[in-house]
Amino acid sequence: MHNYYYNLSLRNRDMIPESRLIRSELTIRELALPDDVLLAKKSLIRWLALSLGMILPNESRRLVLDILEALFEFQVKNDAPTTRDILARLKETTKSEPNPKAVYYHLQRLKDVGILTRKKGRYHFGDGDGKRLRETFREFYMDKADNAFTNIERALEKLENSCK
């Protein structure tokens, strides 16, 4: 699994020898969820992307947010879109012609992270099992955290024993 491309903490990864051991990164931000965010779909998309570490706090690019919005809409309708479906949806919602290479790049990054899968040319969040979005995302992030903590706990146990 690859590292998520929006996380800039990997910029200096050659400074620490153990950085070569990184399999993936998980960023979850605890954000307040005010009522005004709950009122608009675009605000919810931005809030979710920021909360789940998919964008940086100072992110200025809209394309990844537009792609996420399209993917969320398809998922809620139990529809697994193709790249062409996503491009058509983006053209419809943004009223401009999306750059197919840029769209594919963002889809590939989401795939590399593991939150998005592609089966028979169709995209799904998670493994495409038809779960609700909240279940899919919770399962994905909890599995990542559990996997990380398995090794963290092992390392802490070893450290405690070496300090005795």
Distance of alpha carbon 110 from alpha carbon 11, whole angstroms: 19
Distance of alpha carbon 96 from alpha carbon 160, whole angstroms: 58
Determine the pLDDT at residue 131.
Answer: 86
- Asked whether 126 and 139 are in contact (CB, 8 A), the reply is yes
Q: Which residues pair with 119 in a beta bridge?
A: 122
Cα torsion 151, 156, 162, 164: sign: negative
Tokens representing 133 are 């979005």
Banded model confidence at residue 127, pLDDT cuts 50, 70, 90: confident
Phi, psi of 95 (to 5 degrees): 60, 25
- At the top level of CATH, the class of 8-162 is mainly alpha
Burial 144-159 (b: 16+ CB within 10 A, else e): beeeeeeeeeeeeeee
12-64 residue pLDDT tens? 545 788 888 888 888 899 999 999 999 999 999 999 999 999 998 988 879 99
Distance of alpha carbon 7 from alpha carbon 55, whole angstroms: 8
Nearest to 26 by CA among 46, 48, 43, 51: 51
Lookup result for tokens 């394309």:
63
Determine the pLDDT at residue 14.
Answer: 55
- Asked whether 74 and 122 are in contact (CB, 8 A), the reply is no
Nearest to 70 by CA among 101, 39, 37, 116: 116
